[in-house]
Amino acid sequence: MHMPLLNLTVTAACVALATSASAQSARDTRGASRGLVFIQYRTENLRVAPVLGQGALNVSPRIGHVHLSVDGLPWHFVDASGETVILVGLPPGLHSVLFELADPTHKVIAHETVRFTVPELKADKPPSN
């Protein structure tokens, strides 16, 4: 039985927000957010849900969650929302995110790697009034 479990699409964007308020904003003191990446994903034949443990293996339809690792780092974080993954603060250059689809006991049942490039940005222009 063919069961593709994980399909991914990726959109990378850098966002700079302007403000017209007279008080200093976070952007005024820290600069614009850099390396902002949105990764949308979906699963087939498995529903992403925040349910864990041995008993959840008997739930129908099948449920699980996603382990995410950025740039081959030795740690991961877990997404059980099924929503768009948002990463902030990635430096310019090539990056990868490993998505591992896991059952409720954290057993990995499928994986996919997304590769993308965060572009170099020109220096910020001050907001116009």
Instruction: Write out residues in the chain with pLDDT < 50, as ranges.
Output: 1-5, 8-21
Listed in sequence order, the residues at least 6 apart from 97 whose beta carbon sits closer than 8 Å to its beta carbon are: 39, 68, 69, 70, 71, 85, 87, 113, 114
Q: Which residue has the tokens 């600069």?
A: 31
- Spatial separation of the C-alpha atoms in residues 9 and 40, rounded to whole Å: 6
Q: Does residue 126 lie within any of the structural domains? A: no
Looking at the domain assignment, is residue 127 inside a domain? no
In a domain, residue 128? The reply is no
Domain assignment present for 44? yes
pTM of the model: 0.71
Range of the domain at 36: 6-16+27-80+92-118
Tell me the pLDDT tens digit for each residue of 83-92: 999 999 999 9
**Which residues are CB-contacts of 22 (< 8 A; sequence separation ≥ 6)?**
none
> Has residue 58 been placed in a domain?
yes
Q: For residue 43, is it within any domain?
A: yes
The answer to the question of residue 59 being in a domain is yes
Q: Is 123 a member of any domain?
A: no
Instruction: Extract the tokens encoding 77.
Output: 């974080």
Number of domains in the chain: 1
